[in-house]
């Protein structure tokens, strides 16, 4: 943490012991630099790693039947036939309550005099590059609307198994960013006159990522360009979703081994806690 000039280390409220049974964050806790946050039930980072390793589209399917792909994913993400409540396939259920939790208390409509900025994309594996882009948008206007393309649309122009995160997961990631005022879920790929007028958009911003033509072969930003409200912004950050996926794949064996050990370790802790509770209840009775 000192090497990278970090003030705090953040982690979810799940198990943090290492393979030796020692708290992996003991040092930073002792130094008063540990921050713990409530884990979002149903969303698993380990599962996202598994999706990147397999490069399939299983996570985008709405079919409840367990396929060969999902079985293979389970083996990579869990590494065993046992199941930990912390590690495993994501089973996130979108709800209005969950969305409100991530929106916070700053939710509002644009007020008269606000400068509304619209930026659209996949925002997949929400990372530092996205945050810097949104920060740049905030320098242009004070009300930032993010258009999140549907899973189908992202897969159309990016291919492979993209997006890694489905639209519900991506919505939570973007909503949690302090620079974001509102999110359009499943936003149209082409920015239309109706969108600009109904959302009272003053500027349409695009980062340095490639702009793909729409399904009809047209420029999706033709309308805002004609109005003179289109801007490109260089975040100055070279991190991309593709780069993250490449890193994971290059370290495939390391991640597969790590997931397997993590799963087994968590199961041991859960079973030990279960036996302790049963023992306590037996003594009390």
Q: What are the phi and psi torsion angles at 258 (to 5°)?
A: -60, -45
Cα–Cα distance measured from residue 129 to residue 80, given in angstroms and rounded to the nearest whole number: 35
Instruction: State both tokens at 86.
Output: 């912390």
What is 9-32 written as a DSSP string?
Answer: EEEESS--B-TTSSBTTHHHHHTT
What pLDDT score was predicted for residue 78? Answer: 42
Q: Which of 263, 211, 201 is nearest to 232 (CA)?
A: 211
Q: For the whole prediction, is pTM greater than 0.85? A: no
What pLDDT score was predicted for residue 71? Answer: 43
Return all residues near 44 (Cβ < 8 A) that are at least 6 apart.
77, 86, 87, 88, 89, 90
Contact predicate 162/60, CB 8 Å: no
Q: Which residue has the tokens 């659209």?
A: 120
What pLDDT score was predicted for residue 11? Answer: 87
What pLDDT score was predicted for residue 136? Answer: 95
List of the chain residues with pLDDT < 50: 63-89
Q: Which residue has the tokens 């709800």?
A: 95
Q: Which of 185, 175, 180, 179 is nearest to 149 (CA)?
A: 185
What pLDDT score was predicted for residue 95? Answer: 65
What pLDDT score was predicted for residue 140? Answer: 96
């Amino acid at each position: 943490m000192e090497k990278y000039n970090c003030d705090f280390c953040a982690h979810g409220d799940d198990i943090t012991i290492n393979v030796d049974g020692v708290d992996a964050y003991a040092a930073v806790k002792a130094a008063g630099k540990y921050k713990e946050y409530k884990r979002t039930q149903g969303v698993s980072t380990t599962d996202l790693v598994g999706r990147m390793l397999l490069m399939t589209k299983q996570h985008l399917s709405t079919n409840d039947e367990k396929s060969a792909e999902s079985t293979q994913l389970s083996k990579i993400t869990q590494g065993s036939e046992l199941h930990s409540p912390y590690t495993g396939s994501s089973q996130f259920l979108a709800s209005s309550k969950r969305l409100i939790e991530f929106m916070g208390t700053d939710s509002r409509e644009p007020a008269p005099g606000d400068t509304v900025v619209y930026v659209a994309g996949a925002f997949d594996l929400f990372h530092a590059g996205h945050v810097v882009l949104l920060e740049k948008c905030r320098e242009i206007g004070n009300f930032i609307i993010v258009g999140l393309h549907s899973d189908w649309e992202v897969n159309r122009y990016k291919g492979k198994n993209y997006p890694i995160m489905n639209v519900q997961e991506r919505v939570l990631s973007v909503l949690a960013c302090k620079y974001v005022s509102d999110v359009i879920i499943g936003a149209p790929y082409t920015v239309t006159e109706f969108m600009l007028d109904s959302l009272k958009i003053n500027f349409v911003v695009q980062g340095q990522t490639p702009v793909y033509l729409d399904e009809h072969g047209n420029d999706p930003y033709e309308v805002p360009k004609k109005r003179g409200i289109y801007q490109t912004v260089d975040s100055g950050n070279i991190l991309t979703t593709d780069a993250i996926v490449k890193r994971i794949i290059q370290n495939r064996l390391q991640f597969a081994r790590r997931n397997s050990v993590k799963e087994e370790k968590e199961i041991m802790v859960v079973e030990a806690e279960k036996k302790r509770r049963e023992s306590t209840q037996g003594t009390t009775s």
